[in-house]
Amino acid sequence: MPTTDVSPAALAAAVLDRADRLAACSEEPGRLTRRFAPPALAAAGDLVLGWMGDAGMTARRDAIGNVVGRWEPPGGAAASTLLLGSHLDTVRDAGRYDGMLGVLVALACVERLRDAPFAVEVFGFADEEGVRYGTAYLGSSVVAGTFDRDALGRRDADGVAMADAIAAFGGDPAALDGARRDREDLLGYVEVHIEQGPVLEAEDLPVGVVTGIAGQNRAEVTFAGVPGHAGTVPMALRRDALVAAAELVTAVEARATDGLVATVGELRVEPGASNVIPARARLSVDVRHLDDAAREAAVADLRERARAIASSRGLDVAWTAVQATGAVACSPALMTELEAAVADAGARVVRLPSGAGHDAAVMSNLGDIAMLFVRCAGGISHNPAEAVTAQDVAVAIDVTSRVLDRLGR
C-alpha cells in the first residue's frame, strides 16, 4: 500500500478482505463479538492503524481508544479538515459490516486521494453499540465533547468499571475531556454505513442518501420482589419480579405504534434457578422515533406503566435512564453534494431516514454531518448473516471519492 490499482472495484475487493480480517478479531470463538475495550477490539484497532500507516496517514489512538488517522495533502498542513469514519465495536454474534464498512470505505477513499485542498481524518470509533456499558456512542461522544463523565462509574456485567476498562485498554480516563476535537477547521463528518434495512434492496439501488437519524432512549428497569420457594408459596402471595418484567415487555411492544419502535433486548433474572421465585428482574428498554416529542411521550408512558405494574404487584421498581439522544437532521449542503456524487456515479438518487443510531448523530455536535447507506442483503443486520456485494461497495467508494472531489472544488 498504497495499492497500485486504486479503482473502486479493486479497492472494494480489498475492503471485503479487510472486513474478513477484522471479523477474525473476536471475544468469542466461532462468532463475532467485539464490545468496547477487550483485547479483540485492540487487535482490530491495530489492523486499522497499520492500514492507515500504509495509506500514508499519521495514525494514533486517542484517550478512549478510538483509532484516528490523518492524511495531509502533499505540500503542507491544510487549513480545513473533512472527517470520515464509523465504529469498530460490534453487537454480540454480529455481522462484519455494521460500522467496519464505513471505516474501510473511508480508508479506501484516502488510498485513492492524490491531492485535496483539505486534510482528511478517518475515525474508527471504539464504542457505538453500547453493548458492554448499556450506553452507546462512547467513542464519538469523546471526540464530540459530549461524553458524560458520570458514565465512568458504570459497571459491566462482570463488575468492571468503565474507567478501569478504559485504562486497561491503554486509554486515559483523566484525559477524555482533552480528546475533544476542535471544530474550527472542520468541513463536516461523512459516514458510510450499511443500510440495516430493506429499502435499497427493494428499490434495486446500491446506495442511498440519509436524511436524518432517529432519536433514541435507552433505560435499565429493575423490578425487585421477594424470592421464595417455587413449591410452597401460594400464587396469590407471590411477589414475582419476572412476571412484572414480562408485563412490561408486552407493554413496550404495544406502545410501539405510529413510527415508534421499542425493544426489550436484555433480561437478567436473579437468583436464576428453576425452583426459586425470581427476586429481581432487570431489563433494557430501547425506544426510537424520528420525532423527539413522540419518543419522549412514549418513554414517559412506559415509565409510568412500569410504576403501575410494580405497584399492582407489591414490588419496587427502579427506572434508570441510560441514554437519550435526540433525532438529528443531515446537513442539506452535504446531502446535495452526496446526491450529486450519486448521480455522477450513474445511480438513481434516493433519500431515506435512519432508524438505527450512528456515530454521525453525536458528531453533529461538532458540525455538519451526512451519511451514505449501502444496500445490505435482505436488509439484515445485527446478525452474522449481514452481507454486502463488492459491486455496491465499489459504488460507495466511487461516490465518497466524488464527494471529496466536489468539496475540493
Please give the single-letter amino acid code of residue 319.
W
CA 119/CA 15 separation, integer angstroms = 22
- Contacting residue, 12, 23, 65, 98, with Mn ion by CB under 5 A: 98
- 191 binds, options ligand GLV, Mn ion, none, Cβ within 5 to 8 A by partner type: none
> CB of residue 175 vs ligand GLV: minimum separation in angstroms?
26
- 134 binds, options ligand GLV, Mn ion, none, Cβ within 5 to 8 A by partner type: none
> CB of residue 298 vs Mn ion: minimum separation in angstroms?
21
Among candidates 397, 403, 405, which has minimal Cα distance to 369? 403
Helix, strand or coil, per DSSP, at residue 151:
helix
CA 38 to chain CA centroid, Å, is: 17
Burial class (CB in 10 A: 0-12, 13-18, 19+), 312: exposed
Residues 312-371 that bind ligand GLV (CB under 6 A): 356-357
> CB of residue 154 vs Mn ion: minimum separation in angstroms?
20
Residues 99-118 that bind Mn ion (CB under 5 A): 99
10 CB-near residues (< 8 Å, 6+ apart): 3
97/118 with CB nearer ligand GLV: 97
**Angle separating helix axes 8-23 and 39-54, nearest 10 degrees:** 160
Pattern of binders to Mn ion over 372-401, x per CB under 5 A?
------------------------------
**Is the omega angle on the peptide bond into residue 271 within 30 degrees of 0, that is, cis?**
yes
98/240 with CB nearer Mn ion: 98
Please give the single-letter amino acid code of residue 157.
A
- 220 binds, options ligand GLV, Mn ion, none, Cβ within 5 to 8 A by partner type: none
Identify the DSSP state of 126. S
**# of chain residues touching Mn ion (CB under 5 A):** 2
Pattern of binders to ligand GLV over 219-258, x per CB under 6 A?
----------------------------------------
> CB of residue 57 vs ligand GLV: minimum separation in angstroms?
26
- Contacting residue, 62, 121, 127, 129, with ligand GLV by CB under 6 A: 129
Q: Return the half-sphere exposure (C-beta side, CA atoms, 13 A cut-off) of residue 174.
A: 0
Which residue is at the shortest CB distance from ligand GLV?
357
216/222 with CB nearer ligand GLV: 216
- 357 binds, options ligand GLV, Mn ion, none, Cβ within 5 to 8 A by partner type: ligand GLV
- Whether residue 303 contacts residue 267, with contact meaning beta carbons closer than 8 Å, is answered with no
> CB of residue 97 vs Mn ion: minimum separation in angstroms?
9
CA 386/CA 90 separation, integer angstroms = 12
Q: What angle do CA 204, 206, 207 make, to 5 degrees?
A: 115
> Of the ranges 46-54, 94-102, 154-162, 393-401, which one interacts with Mn ion (CB under 5 A)?
94-102
> CB of residue 317 vs Mn ion: minimum separation in angstroms?
29
- Residue 378 φ/ψ region, left for φ over 0, alpha for ψ in the -120 to 50 degree band, beta for the rest: left
CA 402/CA 406 separation, integer angstroms = 6
- Whether residue 173 contacts residue 342, with contact meaning beta carbons closer than 8 Å, is answered with no
- 102 binds, options Mn ion, ligand GLV, none, Cβ within 5 to 8 A by partner type: none
154/358 with CB nearer Mn ion: 358
User: The C-alpha cell of 307 is what?
Assistant: 410504576
**Is the omega angle on the peptide bond into residue 2 within 30 degrees of 0, that is, cis?**
yes
> CB of residue 207 vs ligand GLV: minimum separation in angstroms?
19
Helices (runs of H) and strands (runs of E) counted in the chain:
11, 16
**# of chain residues touching ligand GLV (CB under 6 A):** 3
116 CB-near residues (< 8 Å, 6+ apart): 73, 78, 404, 408
> CB of residue 354 vs ligand GLV: minimum separation in angstroms?
8
> CB of residue 6 vs Mn ion: minimum separation in angstroms?
26
> Of the ranges 90-98, 152-160, 257-265, 272-280, which one interacts with Mn ion (CB under 5 A)?
90-98
279/396 with CB nearer Mn ion: 396
Helix, strand or coil, per DSSP, at residue 171:
coil
- H/E run at residue 155: none
> CB of residue 382 vs Mn ion: minimum separation in angstroms?
6
Residues of this chain that interact with ligand GLV (CB under 6 A) are: 129, 356-357
What is the binding site for Mn ion (CB under 5 A)?
A: 98-99
